[in-house]
Amino acid sequence: FDIAQLRSETGGHVTYDPGFMNTANAKSSITYIDGDEGILRYRGYPIEDLAQHSSFIEVAYLLIFGELPSEDQLAEFDQTVRKHTMVHEDIKVFFSGFPRDAHPMAVLASAVSALSTFYPDSLDPHDEREVEVSTFRLLSKLPTLAAYAYKKSLGEPMLYPQNSLSYTENFLRLCFGVPAEDYEVDPEIAKALDQLLILHADHEQNCSTSTVRLVGSSDANMFASVSGGINALYGPKHGGANEAVLNMLRRIQAEGISPEDYMEKVKNKEEGVRLMGFGHRVYKNYDPRARIVKSTADSILKKIGGDDELLDIALRLEEKALADDYFVERKLYPNVDFYTGLIYKAMGFPEKMFTVLFAIGRLPGWIAQWREMMQDSDTKIGRPRQVYTGAPERRYPGAK
């Protein structure tokens, strides 16, 4: 199509920007990214400091309310989140309607959407009290629903949450515990998972967050909007990359190709082969999250024992790539997904749960961005324009 024609037809007011690569759709004070320098901050705090010193529940408070909580505020917030972890018994019945082999992401998105039907008292997006209640409901119940989606896929019975446990510990027990036995949560695994959730907690206007905002811009309630975000994250170009990394490492291992030979395939663009877990639309420097994940991978895999051979392949691929002109010229560095799959796998999660873990991590960001949008007087219903490329006016056969 003719861009000059678009300009003249709209008086120069409409831009054609597929993927919104150059269009800001929101003002936001939540997350700052400098992709050239490899900087990520939540509410001004460097991701490195938060990953080392904070907890996921504190980061959730920070993202949603804008400030770090005092000790008392954190204790109260944590207690309230723990109090709401149970889901209505009828939601469990709802789970039994899905096919056994349903993907847990599809089940999770449906279950979150269904929360609107179970909690009609907290749906008004402009009622402060109702927004507060749905914030707690969603934060508290998402791990329960995610674990139920997992148990459903295994055909195993669902456990009730145990609210003496922390957010991450509770989730691990719900996933890996069985009713007849005690389940001892490994504190190091819980800490490592907590840190990974922090790293995923927000990333400004990515695809799923933009979806949450777009759905919410019609004044749709928080459950409906977040369910939309989960569906967007489900796509392999967004949340599914860590699964793709693991598949790539497995393929290299199974076919007995050396990492060096695989790199040649990538550089020659054979069969569209890419080095999965490398490159990012915004980061043209080392993804700061990837640096932290790499050191977590080093320590946690040593402790719980992962697949050493796959880790070795990953380390050799990274080493080769960082010294190779192809990657250097294109500013391709490992992204957050390069090592997360190896860690999740070592923790005992199957591949189809990887994106579900991402969703649990991203939830505070989705909630914070949705609330920010609802409070912004500049918010308008999302309604992009288009460039029409179809037929000119035609007569329907037989019409006068």
Q: Which residues bind ligand ACO (CB under 6 A)?
A: 238, 241, 266, 274-281, 330, 332, 335-337
If the CB atoms of residues 144 and 335 are measured against ligand ACO, the closer one turns out to be: 335
Q: What's the gap between Cα 111 and its chain centre?
A: 17
Q: How far is the CB of 348 from ligand ACO (least distance, A)?
A: 22
> How far is Cα 116 from Cα 162, in angstroms, rounded to an integer?
24
Q: How far is the CB of 277 from ligand ACO (least distance, A)?
A: 5
If the CB atoms of residues 106 and 282 are measured against ligand ACO, the closer one turns out to be: 282
Q: How far is the CB of 229 from ligand ACO (least distance, A)?
A: 14
If the CB atoms of residues 129 and 281 are measured against ligand ACO, the closer one turns out to be: 281
If the CB atoms of residues 171 and 278 are measured against ligand ACO, the closer one turns out to be: 278
**Hey, which residues does 278 pair with through a beta bridge?**
334
> How far is Cα 4 from Cα 20, in angstroms, rounded to an integer?
19
Q: Report which of 105, 80, 125, 10 is spatially closest to residue 375, judged by C-alpha positions.
A: 125
If the CB atoms of residues 276 and 367 are measured against ligand ACO, the closer one turns out to be: 276
74: Cβ contacts below 8 Å, ≥ 6 apart = 57, 58, 61
Phi, psi dihedrals of residue 31, rounded to the nearest 5°: -125, 135
Q: How far is the CB of 53 from ligand ACO (least distance, A)?
A: 23
Residues marked as catalytic: 280, 337
- ∠15-18-22 over CA atoms, to 5°? 65
> How far is Cα 375 from Cα 202, in angstroms, rounded to an integer?
19
Q: Report which of 267, 260, 277 is spatially closest to residue 252, judged by C-alpha positions.
A: 260
> How far is Cα 379 from Cα 274, in angstroms, rounded to an integer?
39
Q: How far is the CB of 320 from ligand ACO (least distance, A)?
A: 12
If the CB atoms of residues 189 and 248 are measured against ligand ACO, the closer one turns out to be: 248
Phi, psi dihedrals of residue 301, rounded to the nearest 5°: -70, -30
3-state helix, strand, coil in the chain (%, to 5): 60, 5, 35
Cβ atoms of 194 and 296 within 8 Å: the answer is: no
Q: Which residue is nearest to ligand ACO (CB)?
A: 279
Which two tokens mark 58?
């504190």
3 state SS of 133? helix
Which two tokens mark 369?
């961005």
Helix (H) or strand (E) holding 199: helix 187-199
If the CB atoms of residues 148 and 278 are measured against ligand ACO, the closer one turns out to be: 278
Q: How far is the CB of 94 from ligand ACO (least distance, A)?
A: 30
Q: How far is the CB of 136 from ligand ACO (least distance, A)?
A: 27
If the CB atoms of residues 21 and 24 are measured against ligand ACO, the closer one turns out to be: 21
3 state SS of 15? coil
Q: Report which of 115, 123, 120 is spatially closest to residue 91, judged by C-alpha positions.
A: 115
> How far is Cα 253 from Cα 221, in angstroms, rounded to an integer?
46
Q: How far is the CB of 22 from ligand ACO (least distance, A)?
A: 13
DSSP label at 351? G
Residue matched to tokens 């029409």: 388
Cβ atoms of 206 and 238 within 8 Å: the answer is: yes
